[in-house]
Amino acid sequence: MNKAVLEFSSRAENVAFARVAVAAFVSQVDFTLPDLEEIKVVVSEAVSNAIIHGYENNPDQVVRLEMSIADEYMELVVIDRGKGIEDIQKALEPAFSTDPERMGLGFSFMQSFMDKFKVQSKPGQGTRVKMSRRAGAPRRAVVPEQ
């Protein structure tokens, strides 16, 4: 297994950095370009959630991103130590958002573009989103574990 860990400030400009870093790392696995585009969406959504919801746009916190690859498989864990999610079930509902300018589709995209998806969160302690995907595997929207 090949692993990499990134920790970066919870700043908006680091969302693009995270996308590019993950795409570069997992490109060692035989993902197609459309696969990599989907993985970039997933990274963008998870890191944006950590910054916007976890840290409420405080730029001085830290987002941790753990990635690993083995054979034709990638796993990604995005961790914040922010405010956490009160009701994970509700947060996972498509189009649920606390902000009328947002679509509430972040978790939907993560579920659609990954094979496995798990959210762990406690109010006041932060959120951990773990996702994985196998190259070349047919995918369907997964029922999230909690």
Q: Which two tokens stand for residue 113?
A: 């573009």
Kindly state the smallest distance separating residue 77's Cβ from other proteins, in Å.
19
Kindly state the smallest distance separating residue 85's Cβ from other proteins, in Å.
17
**Residues annotated as catalytic (active site), given as ranges:** 45, 49, 102
End-to-end CA distance of the chain: 25
Strand partners, 64: 7, 79
Point out which residues bind other proteins (CB under 8 A): 12-13, 15-16, 19, 34, 37-38, 40-41, 44-45, 48, 51-52, 95, 99-106, 108-109, 112
CA distances 109 to 8, 11, 82, 113, 141, Å, are: 23, 21, 22, 6, 9
Tell me whether residue 12 or residue 137 sits nearer to other proteins (CB atom). 12
Kindly state the smallest distance separating residue 45's Cβ from other proteins, in Å.
6
